[in-house]
Amino acid sequence: MSSTRRLTSLIVLALALPAQGASALDPPYITPAHPMAGEAISVVVRGDACNLIEDGVVWPPPVTQQGSVITILFNGIREGDPEFCYYSSDAIAYPVGAYAAGSYTLQVNWRYGTFSGWVTETLGVIPFTVSAAPSQQPIEAPTLSIAGLGVLGLALLAVVLRDLRNRLA
């Protein structure tokens, strides 16, 4: 390879590297962080100025489960030209479901359209454990016995009679 050709290749490579999109999305996370059995779990995702993740209002993202692996697929838009990067970086929380006690993995994917078709990327893989719900033991609450109820009734009767005497006098 001649030195001119090598120099041309280096210049093309040096100019091409900064032209590629340098935006990175924040990793998704679940809420609540430590879910209990039967508790609704949501995934929180955040776009940035060049990447819009749709909130699921128009097209809800499909949630699939195979064994302990749960997958959610968001749709979005990726802008390659920094001049047109004007999207909001608000976080959105989307419900994934409620699960029984056990260990699970949530894979969060998003796809966006390009001229050559759809591109699907994994935003994150979140391992989490759903704890068993605490057993519902009866809670002892103070109550009145028959004797206590009688004393309360007599006290109320005494107050009412005293009030009537004061009004008649």
pLDDT tens string 66-103: 999 999 999 999 998 889 898 888 888 999 999 999 99
Bridge partners of 155? none
Flag whether 51 is in a domain: yes
pTM (2 d.p.)? 0.65
Flag whether 59 is in a domain: yes
Give yes or no for a contact between 87 and 79, defined as CB atoms under 8 angstroms apart: yes
Number of domains comprising the chain: 1
Flag whether 167 is in a domain: no
pLDDT digits (tens, 9 = 90+) for 65-76: 999 999 999 999
- Tell whether the torsion through CA atoms of 30, 35, 37 and 42 is positive or negative: negative
Q: What are phi and psi of 19, to 5 degrees?
A: -75, -15
Cα separation, 69 vs 103, whole angstroms: 9
pLDDT confidence band for 20 (50 / 70 / 90) = very low
Flag whether 37 is in a domain: yes
SS3 115: coil
Flag whether 166 is in a domain: no
158 residue type, one letter = A
Q: Which residue has the tokens 């103070």?
A: 142
Position 2 scores a pLDDT of: 64
- Residue-number span of the structural domain to which 92 is assigned: 18-130
Residue ranges with strand state E in the chain: 29-31, 40-46, 51-53, 63-66, 69-78, 91-98, 102-114, 117-130
Flag whether 11 is in a domain: no
Position 146 scores a pLDDT of: 84
Flag whether 140 is in a domain: no
Cα separation, 42 vs 77, whole angstroms: 22
Flag whether 111 is in a domain: yes
pLDDT confidence band for 163 (50 / 70 / 90) = confident
pLDDT confidence band for 11 (50 / 70 / 90) = low
